Structure 1
Amino acid sequence: MNLIFRLIRVMIAALYDQWRGRRLTLLGESALRFRVWPTDLDLNLHMTNARYFSVMDLGRTDLMIRVGLGNAILKNRWQPVLGAANVRFRRSLRPFQRFTLVSRVLCWDDKYIFMEHRLETAQGVAAIAVMQGAFVARGSVVTPAQVLAALGVDDPSPPMPDAVAAWQPLTVAAVT
C-alpha cells in the first residue's frame, strides 16, 4: 500500500478506540479526516482517481477494526477482497484540501457485503462509491453469516437499496 503513514495512523486510532471500549455497530459509520497532499495529485493538479480507491481501502480497514473484526480476520486468516466497485465523481479534490471519508455497510446477501464510501468536503460530496466485498480464506469465500457470527451478530440484512440491486455486477453467464 502506498499510503503507509496514513494506514498506520488509521490502525492506531481504530485500535486505541477498541481498547477504550468505543466500538462501532455493524451498520455504524466510520469517519476519517484527510488532506490532499502533493503525492495524491495527477497532472491536472487534483486528486488522482486511483488515490480515491486507496483512501477507500483505509476506510474499509478502519471500519473492519472498529466493528470488532480485527481478531477474527487475524485468527481465521481472512483476506478482505473487492468483487466490484461503482464510483461517481462529483467534484475535484484540490491540493491541500481537507475531506472526510465516511464508510458504512449498506447490506449483505449470501456471498457479498455491500459498502458505501462518501468523500465529503465543505462544498458537498466529492465522490460516492458502492463496493461489493467479501472475505476469502483457504481459497473459498467466507459467507457474510460467518462474518456476522464472528461479531456475535445474527441480524438480517437491511433491505438492499434499489440502486445497489440494479447495479450488482453482471455474472459471467450474463456477459457471454
Structure 2
Amino acid sequence: MNLWLRLLRVRLAAQRGARISLWDTVATRFRVVPTDLDTVGHMNNGRYLTLLDLGRLDLMVRSGFWQRCRDRGWFPVVAGQTITYWKNLTLAQSFDVHTRVAGGDERWVYLEQTFRRGDVVHAHALIRACFVERGHGRVPTADLDAELGGFPDHVSVPDWVRSWTTHSAAKTV
C-alpha cells in the first residue's frame, strides 16, 4: 500500500510544486520505510527501480510534459536501465532521487537518476525510454522532437551511453 500512497503524494506535490523546464533536474524526497527493506535491513534493490518511476513522474508533471503527452495519447515506456549501488539506504533515512533528461538520439530518450543523501550518491541509474501512442505503437522521433522543440545543446548523449545501448540490445536466438 505504501507505493500507492507514495504515488499519490508525488503526483499531488508535483501538481502543486514549482513549475520547471523538462531540461532541469528535479529532486524528489523520500524516506526508507519498513516495507522497503530486504532481509539484511537495507533498501531492496527492486525498490530503487520503483522509486525511479516516481522521480520520472515528478519531472514530467512539474514540467507540464506529462499533460502534453496525455493530450496526445502518448505514454513513456522504459526499454532498458542500468543501476549501480554504492551505499546502503537503511530504515528511516531520508534521501532524494535526482532526475534529469540526459539526452536523446534517433530512437531513445535517456534519463539519469541518482539517489542522494546530501552530497553523497548512494546509487546511480541510467534509463533508456521511448514514448508509445495508444493503438499506434512507438512515437516517431520526429514527432517527439517537434513536441519538445528539439533537445537543447547542453543535453547530449555521451559515447558510453551509445555503447551501452548497442551492447544491451535484445538479440534473437
Does TM, scored on the shorter chain, surpass 0.5? yes
Deviations 1:10-35 (A, max 9, x none): 11111113xxxx42222200101111
Q: Work out whether residues 100 and 111 of structure 2, in 8 Å CA contact, stay in contact via their aligned partners in 1.
A: yes
Instruction: Indicate the residue corresponding to 1:93 in structure 2.
Output: 89
What is the identity, as a one-letter code, of the residue corresponding to 1:26?
L
Q: Pairwise mapping of residues 114-125 of structure 1 onto structure 2 (< 5 A)?
A: 114-122=110-118, 124-125=120-121
Aligned-residue offset at 1:166: 2.2
Find the counterpart in structure 1 of residue 7 from structure 2.
7
Partner of 1:62: 58
Identity of aligned residues (%): 35
Q: CA shift at 1:172, angstroms?
A: 3.8
Unaligned runs of at least 5 residues, structure 1: none
User: CA shift at 1:76, angstroms?
Assistant: 2.1
What are the within-5 Å matches in structure 2 for residues 2-151 of structure 1?
3-17=3-17, 22-122=18-118, 124-137=120-133, 138-151=135-148
Give the letter for the 2:107 counterpart: K
Q: Which runs of 4+ in 1 moved over 4 A?
A: none
What SS does the aligned partner of 1:168 have? helix
Does the CA contact (< 8 Å) of 1:84 and 1:132 recur in 2? yes
Deviation at 1:109, TM superposition (A): 0.8
Tell me the distance in 2 between the aligned counterparts of 1:91 and 1:14: 28
Tell me by how many angstroms 1:77 deviates: 2.1
Do 1:69 and 1:150's aligned partners in 2 also have CA atoms closer than 8 Å?
Answer: no
Secondary structure in 2 matching 1:6: helix
Aligned counterparts of 1:110 and 1:92: Cα–Cα separation in 2 = 36
In the alignment, is the contact (CA less than 8 A) between 2:103 and 2:151 conserved in 1? no
- Structure 2 residue runs of 5 or longer lacking an equivalent are none
* Contact preservation (8 Å) 1:108, 1:144: no
CA RMSD for the aligned pairs? 2.0
The CA deviation string for residues 55-113 of structure 1, in whole angstroms up to 9 with x for no partner, is: 00000111111221122222222121111001000011011111110000000012210
Deviation at 1:124, TM superposition (A): 1.0
